Amino acid sequence: MYVGRIVSVAKTTDGRLCAAYRVSSRSFPNRSAVPGDGKVSIVPKPGHESDIFKNPYIAYNCVRIVCEGNVAVVTNGGQTDFIAEKMEGGMSARDALILTSFAMDYEKDDYNTPRVSAVVDRRTDEGWLAVVRHDGLQVERIPLENGRLWHLATYEENSVCLQRSDIFPALTAEEACAHMLGGGVFAGRTNPVTAVAALADEKGFSLAVQDAQS
């Protein structure tokens, strides 16, 4: 089943927060996740830079680590930076997700692609999921449990559903990326391109990226 881009929030079996993202794409598969200083960006692979002129939504920061390393923001678009900046300025996850989702709205492409967002906050030990579609907006705090994840996608699974939960066996950010690309429930989600994970550690969040095998 093709569900497009996917965000998830989870806790490891030993109780550490994780937020992760997977790019799934039929139209623009030639992309990679590139780590930076406290962020990860989705960009076209070398030789495919002109894709950005075909669709302006395909390149963006998908992860930002803010609030002195305590908060990971993970999304499928330009809303990453806005949510991160609002939280850096003292806004709660709930309010930052509501304000940004309302202000930016869904993507105005040929598919009215929803914006899906996830936040995990080490200070409050909370995880949040949000989506803004052409027909609605949802922001929910997720009742996280050790060893489980909750996810949200741009298509088909694009409503926050507390019953949409699965096991989360990963103990490292690298393992979380592999799980997003083909583990558990995600094994049945087609067209994987690349994955990113932010997993809490003693200093804040460790980041990992992994491209799907072509």
For the cut 70, the answer to whether the pLDDT of residue 214 exceeds it is no
Fold of domain 6-211: Glutamine Phosphoribosylpyrophosphate, subunit 1, domain 1 (3.60.20)
Q: Which amino acid is at 21?
A: Y
DSSP state for residue 185 in the 8-state scheme: G
The string of pLDDT tens digits covering residues 191-213 is: 999 999 999 999 899 999 999 98
pLDDT digits (tens, 9 = 90+) for 151-199: 999 999 999 999 999 999 999 999 999 999 999 999 999 999 999 999 9
Beta strand 148-153 with 165-167 is antiparallel
Structural domain boundaries in the chain: 6-211
Residue range 84-116, pLDDT digits in tens: 999 999 999 999 999 999 999 999 988 899 999
Q: What is the chain's length?
A: 214
Q: Which two tokens stand for residue 157?
A: 């699974």
Helix (H, G, I), strand (E, B) or coil at 46: coil
Instruction: Output the CA angle 106-182-214, nearest 5 degrees.
Output: 90
Q: Note the pTM of the prediction, 2 decimals.
A: 0.96
What does the pLDDT average to over 5-24? 98
